[in-house]
């Protein structure tokens, strides 16, 4: 009697959200990772035909595109669709699979495009815009805007253009977001995100000063048992998802610090949760306790200054500054940068003015 095959789908579904705070699931939740062990009694068959039989919801075209992007491994080696499977072969398949729980209705919503070609679109997202419909945010999202923008347009292959997400950023985080315009580009870009080879740098204003000029935060992230909207670092290495954030100081203001964060992984609220974990919550980050006065004096004048700062930037001080990736067709390295938005720049200017005034007063 043949041994049953083993198949595991390693995708974690996003949790419902009512506030808009956690409407962005983990970066790797955008992908399905299938692991299949071929039956002992399985007859020889082409790899693409076998996968189409086993993964009925996935088209042969998508399987071939995944193989072209080296997203199908047999015994840990990239394999072609024509490979002839053998009993006990271990097949791993990585496929982008953004959730389609909600219908994407085209809506005429303005958004800022900084680059577009036949395969990709780079958007500079404003703070306050949700990327994908979810519980509590059924429309008014970037995908609704993209559906309107691409409505009636056709790609270079003559097919209607469909926007595909390959990563996400939080609702109240501003900055750069990469969109694929066809399935093949989506798969090739998804592989880069899955392998953490995408270059992403963020600017963040955080509470407190640092003793060092740079450092690295390593800590698995999981949903907080106290607040399911938030993420927390867990000590058990078998729990949560591996996350690494590199940081270095850009400018010190005494009570707060402007830092650059480089993501080695891309988890839900990674920078926000990691910074709180080391005692430096993001400025005005309500979910992670940064919307309170955590450093500074008790003088009423200082309290009023902080209140004014919260009004200038009524969101967490986080901006997706740079984005670098290998183009899915030309294979050239692409780099993009987004300047700090007006609210973030105004916040930095207020702190700079305050710091200089305090320094002059102390010297006087």
- Name the residues annotated as catalytic: 170
Tokens for 268?
Answer: 């839900």
Burial classification of residue 300, based on how many CB atoms lie within 10 Å of its CB (0-12 exposed, 13-18 middle, 19 or more buried): exposed
Q: What is the CA radius of gyration of the chain?
A: 23
d(CA 252, CA 247): 14
Within 10 A of 343 (CB to CB), how many other CB atoms are there? 18
211 phi, psi to nearest 5 deg: -75, -25
Tokens for 204?
Answer: 């963040």
Tokens for 292?
Answer: 């309170």
Q: Which residues contact 47 (CB under 8 A, 6 or more apart)?
A: 67, 72, 74, 79, 80, 81, 82, 83, 84, 85, 91
C-alpha dihedral (64, 69, 71, 75), degrees to nearest 10: 90
Report yes or no: 184 and 68 within 8 Å, Cβ to Cβ.
Answer: yes
42 phi, psi to nearest 5 deg: -70, 130
**Burial per residue of 194-218, b for 16 or more beta-carbon CB atoms within 10 angstroms, e otherwise:** beeebbbbbbbbbbbebeeeeeebe
């Amino acid at each position: 009697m043949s041994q049953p095959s083993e198949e595991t789908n390693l995708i974690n579904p996003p949790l419902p959200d009512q506030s808009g705070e956690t409407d962005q699931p983990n970066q790797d939740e955008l992908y399905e990772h299938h692991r299949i062990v071929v039956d002992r009694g399985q007859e020889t068959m082409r790899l693409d035909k076998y996968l189409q039989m086993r993964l009925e919801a996935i088209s042969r075209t998508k399987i071939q595109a995944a193989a072209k992007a080296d997203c199908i491994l047999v015994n840990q080696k990239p394999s072609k669709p024509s490979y002839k499977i053998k009993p006990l072969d271990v097949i791993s398949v990585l496929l982008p699979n953004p959730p389609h729980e909600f219908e994407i209705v085209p809506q005429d919503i303005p958004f800022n495009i900084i680059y577009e070609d036949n395969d990709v679109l780079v958007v500079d997202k404003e703070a306050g815009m949700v990327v994908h419909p979810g519980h509590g945010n059924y429309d008014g999202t970037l995908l609704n805007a993209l559906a309107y923008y691409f409505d009636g347009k056709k790609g270079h292959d003559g097919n209607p253009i469909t926007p595909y997400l390959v990563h996400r950023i939080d609702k109240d985080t501003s900055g750069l977001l990469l969109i694929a315009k066809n399935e093949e580009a989506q798969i090739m870009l998804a592989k880069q995100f899955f392998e953490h080879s995408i270059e992403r740098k963020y600017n963040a204003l955080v509470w407190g000063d640092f003793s060092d000029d740079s450092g690295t935060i390593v800590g698995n992230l999981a949903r907080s048992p106290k607040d399911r909207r938030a993420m927390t670092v867990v000590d058990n290495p078998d729990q949560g998802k591996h996350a690494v954030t590199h940081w270095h100081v850009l400018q010190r203001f005494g009570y707060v610090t402007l830092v650059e964060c480089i993501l080695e992984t891309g988890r839900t609220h990674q920078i926000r949760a990691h910074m709180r974990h080391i005692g430096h919550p993001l400025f005005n980050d309500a979910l992670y306790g940064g919307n309170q006065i955590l450093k500074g004096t008790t003088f009423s004048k200082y309290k009023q200054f902080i209140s004014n700062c919260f009004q200038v930037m009524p969101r967490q001080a986080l901006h997706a500054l740079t984005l670098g990736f290998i183009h899915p067709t030309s294979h050239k390295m692409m780099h993009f940068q987004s300047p700090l938005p007006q609210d973030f720049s105004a916040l930095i200017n207020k702190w700079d003015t305050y710091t200089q005034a305090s320094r002059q007063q102390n010297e006087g």
